[in-house]
Chain A
Amino acid sequence: MLCKLLGFVLAVAGILSVGESHAAVVAPEGAAYRAIVIPDSAPDSVRLGASELARCLRQAGLGELAIVREQDAPRERPLIWLGDTALSRSHGIVADDFATDEFIWQTTEDGLIITGKDYAGEAIVWFQHPWTEQQVYNRELSLGAFGSAGTLQGVYRFLMKFCGVRWYWPGADGEVIPVLEHLAIPELNRRQRPAFAYRFPFFCDFADSADDALWFKRSGNGGRAPLAINHSMHLLVRHEAPDSAFFALVDGERDSIKRFCAATGIGEPCLSNPEVIAKAVEIICGYFAANPEQEVFPLVPSDGLTRICECPACQAQLDDRDPELGRFSNYVWGFVNTVAREVGRQYPDRLIGCIAYEKYLMPPSKVELAENVAVQLCKNRGAFGVAPYHDRVSAAIEAWSGRTENLYIWEYYLASTPPWRGFPVFFPDNIAADLQYLHRQGVKGEMIEAESWFGVAEPCPKYMMCPGTQHLNLYLTSQLYWDPEQNVDELLAEYYVLFYGPAHEPMRNFWEFARKLYQEDVKASLQGVSDPTNLEKISPLLGYSPEAMQTLSGYLSAARDLAPADSVYCRRIETIGHEFAQAEKLYSRLSRKSNPVLKIGETANVPERLVTTEGAAAQPPTWFTLEADGGNLFFRIACFEPEMSGIKANITENDDPGMWQDDSVEIYLAADPGNGENCVQLVISASGKIVQYRYSREFPYGLKETSCALTPRVIREANRWLVEIAVPHAVWGFVPGAEKEFKMNIFRTRRIHSGSSSCWSPIVGSRYYEPESFGSVILQEKLEP
């Protein structure tokens, strides 16, 4: 590819050498284009396309082309015609017949036509994250993630193909515009559409960053409308009485508010209840009536679904043939399907969507899916190095692709989440192979959950997180959405040269080494990890050796030496270097990390202080003491607080799953000193209320106890709030006398200002439930029961 690129540059130079007197873009018959013409009432995306085209041609040294409306078009030819014009129609081009984002390049005697289907209405948004106006629409640019923008995509692909323009990351520093000074356009009559109709990498909020919104489009992303498939059961239950049969029955109680079934949400409904089905149909039909531009409505259980309704009709739908990935499939998909059939009578062209996820990831065994059911399968191609996981996902995709025409993917690119932030997690071969496979399986598109603003104070603008280390996966993915058969090595070869200029050799080494590291070395180390998709729970130490970190650092240093100071190449390398420095710092900390050990007797010990989740001194301070006798552990936790009037203590009842949304402390206790996975979590609000969860391999997101019998005491003073609680050993399965050691961690969640977390034993990821990081408590004397 490098040869091709050099050839391209030499060809331009050759053209220059024969004595062209004016910089220009030249039509096939040899005349220079004179202006860019847009329809008199051009949609915003076509106007944007015109300004982008004029700007890039100017910056490429190809002269200034004025943008004129069709009615003002000059008589002289040739011209560049953008959008749905009389000229395009006279050539039989019917834009409405085009697919979303499809476009055509056609040269005629009047000039070059670039047009496609262009949406001209209001912003297409959904009412829930991550498809709200904040996330998918930029008012400054009048640019949305959704709505066909065929002409705009035609312009961008034109600039990429004929002018060599590239957009590797958001903003001016991510843009490459080669200086050409002369460009001859060949005869063209080419229609092009993306291989995947729906392309939504979610890495920014459009409203916060015009640069990021532009990069989204420049990279070729978009879709007709949001495929808004996300957790949505709260939409069904939010107006129901708490004791209503609308809610799932769990241990004799209704699952209203208390989250017996799922880790999130406001209670799960009984999906066999005909009233629930009728309510879902009513809500969905009402929504489609009011929002004709939308094409899908979600019916998705809340996150962390571990139990379902215990009424006979619901229980009859359990499928134990695949307890991990299919136990709830008949239950969830049966409900989705029933509602879809009903909605389909009124709105046959709309979809009812659900994610294939958790215990309903596999297709149902007893349900014939209706044509208007959309399935969005959740997976992580970055973890495909782990063969059993890859095999499992492939089996699921193949099972689904035979059951529905509406198969989509929910993908995760979350390497900007701690503890991987700043590491060059790079898996181009996984991306290419997977997109080729998905295309063959008939998958229509995907969303990528690529945002992570964890650890950044709120409110803050939502830009691409860690563009230096994240951009390349996103760039390649976006390109392959259009043609998954593109050669990744060729794309990378031109990237190294174009993006890093004189420093391309060491930067090529950097990225190629990162590629090998993640796809081979990290892969090898992940083989034994139970959930290779959950990066936040996996230490980078598993795959990155100290020597590897030094090698990466060395390549960056060599690149810095070659890039002229203040050059754009230098700034790009510094952006990557700055992010990698964070990774090095974290790596150093993780290398030194050892979990704390607390030795206690029956008398009060010296207080232990909480630190930040990364192990640094935490402010304001929090201290705890722990004592034990034969029946209980006794905790005293002092949360110092300079702004006591600002603490959040709104929870008024025990067992409220939203306890952690208050200022709160959390205690994790695991009786087995060799394995913290099976543990009890107590969350105590500053209001004095408590909720209790149980964790295990089966319930990694916690199973809420229906009624916590513990009685914490919270004392508020002028400068702090204190928690005192006795925890009977029986609550967490500890047998005094048998054991002298157990696992523990303690957290404080502070809600004032931007909020902060502190803990006794620092964690690697972002979830508090991290058994590997629990500290040890050693009883110095054996307790008598």
Chain B
Amino acid sequence: MRLLGSIALIAVMGFGLPAQELSLKLPEEDMASAIPSQFYPGGLELWDQVWLIVGQPNAYNRRDRALIRVDLRRWLMAGEVGKIHLTWQYVPYGFTDRRELEISLLRQEEEGFDVYSAYVRPADLLSSWQVDGSEGAQSYRLDLTREANRALSAGRGSIAVRIRDCYSDEYGNPGARVQMVGIIANSIMLKVEE
């Protein structure tokens, strides 16, 4: 199984942190993999690993989206943060071409992180993430400094991003095949320079 091979690869990668960075693991309730009728706090358990799924995790036209919420409360009193990045490890599965994934910032993220509504809540495009399906496990780094400081300035204690697969959102699952990007839940880290 190519997927299991990728997981093994991640296990030996390791991460080196710059000394000034604070690295935080996000709690499970701050991440979710969601389809319109279901959600899985902390992600979806597959193959003995917890994943946030983007795309089609099985033969059905699920069009899963991933949701990640970042808790900013510890910087609220200071009012701003120097730099803040979100990083994660991911594995493409079931396709070999390039897929465009869209990362959006949910509007007016509030205290109550409701993934039911977060799946479809209004959001603003943050960045476009190109995933090469021919590669194995990879990592991604998302700069959220500007968005976090905007939220802190407005007194909001969190922000949330939503990740969707543009292909499956547009075409569905014509071949009834697993075609997804799996974000490894326990790899999601928040890196902060205060």
Interface residues of A (CB under 8 A from B): 604, 606-607, 609, 617, 620-623, 625, 636, 638, 640, 642, 717, 719-720, 722
User: Is B99 on the interface with A (CB-CB < 8 A)?
Assistant: no
User: Is B147 on the interface with A (CB-CB < 8 A)?
Assistant: no
Docked-complex contact B154 and A623, CB < 8 angstroms: no
Stretch at the interface among B54-62, B69-77, B170-178: B69-77
CB proximity of A319 to chain B, nearest CB, Å: 53
Q: Is the interface of B mostly helix, strand, loop or mixed?
A: loop
Which residues of B115-151 are within 8 A (CB) of A? none
> What's the interface size class on B, roughly?
10 to 19
Docked-complex contact B79 and A607, CB < 8 angstroms: no
C-alpha gap A530/B76 in the complex (Å): 42
Neighbour of B157 across the interface among A621, A642, A717, CB < 8 A: A621
User: Is B36 on the interface with A (CB-CB < 8 A)?
Assistant: no
Given the interface contacts A623-B76, A623-B77, does A607 sit within 8 Å of B112 by beta carbon?
no
Docked-complex contact A617 and B155, CB < 8 angstroms: no
Chain A: CB-nearest residue to B71: A606
User: Is B21 on the interface with A (CB-CB < 8 A)?
Assistant: no
Docked-complex contact B111 and A636, CB < 8 angstroms: no
Residues from chain A with a CB closer than 8 A to the CB of B79 are: 638, 717, 719-720
Chain A: CB-nearest residue to B75: A607
C-alpha gap A625/B153 in the complex (Å): 17
Interface residues of B (CB under 8 A from A): 73-74, 76-77, 79, 110-112, 153-157
Neighbour of A620 across the interface among B73, B76, B112, B155, CB < 8 A: B155
Chain B: CB-nearest residue to A718: B153
C-alpha gap A625/B73 in the complex (Å): 10
Chain B: CB-nearest residue to A719: B153
Docked-complex contact B155 and A640, CB < 8 angstroms: yes
C-alpha gap A342/B154 in the complex (Å): 62
Docked-complex contact A607 and B157, CB < 8 angstroms: yes
C-alpha gap A449/B64 in the complex (Å): 58
CB proximity of B102 to chain A, nearest CB, Å: 27
Docked-complex contact A625 and B156, CB < 8 angstroms: no
Docked-complex contact B111 and A623, CB < 8 angstroms: no
C-alpha gap A604/B73 in the complex (Å): 12
CB proximity of A648 to chain B, nearest CB, Å: 19
Residues from chain B with a CB closer than 8 A to the CB of A640 are: 154-155
Docked-complex contact A606 and B112, CB < 8 angstroms: no
Residues from chain A with a CB closer than 8 A to the CB of B73 are: 606-607, 623
Docked-complex contact A609 and B111, CB < 8 angstroms: yes
C-alpha gap A607/B157 in the complex (Å): 9
Given the interface contacts A623-B157, A638-B155, A640-B155, does A607 sit within 8 Å of B110 by beta carbon?
no
C-alpha gap A623/B79 in the complex (Å): 11
Chain B: CB-nearest residue to A608: B73
Residues from chain A with a CB closer than 8 A to the CB of B157 are: 607, 609, 621, 623
Residues from chain B with a CB closer than 8 A to the CB of A607 are: 73-74, 76-77, 157
C-alpha gap A620/B110 in the complex (Å): 11
Residues from chain A with a CB closer than 8 A to the CB of B111 are: 609, 617
Docked-complex contact B74 and A720, CB < 8 angstroms: no
C-alpha gap A620/B73 in the complex (Å): 15
Given the interface contacts A620-B155, A640-B155, A720-B155, does A625 sit within 8 Å of B77 by beta carbon?
yes
Q: Please list the 9 inter-chain residue pairs (A to B) with the smallest Cβ-Cβ separation, ordered nearest first.
A: A640-B155, A621-B155, A606-B73, A607-B76, A607-B73, A623-B76, A617-B110, A719-B153, A636-B77
CB proximity of B157 to chain A, nearest CB, Å: 6
Residues from chain A with a CB closer than 8 A to the CB of B76 are: 607, 623, 638
With most chain A CB atoms within 10 A of its CB, the pick from B73, B77, B155 is: B155
C-alpha gap A527/B111 in the complex (Å): 40
C-alpha gap A292/B17 in the complex (Å): 87
Chain B: CB-nearest residue to A624: B77
Docked-complex contact A621 and B156, CB < 8 angstroms: yes
CB proximity of B147 to chain A, nearest CB, Å: 16
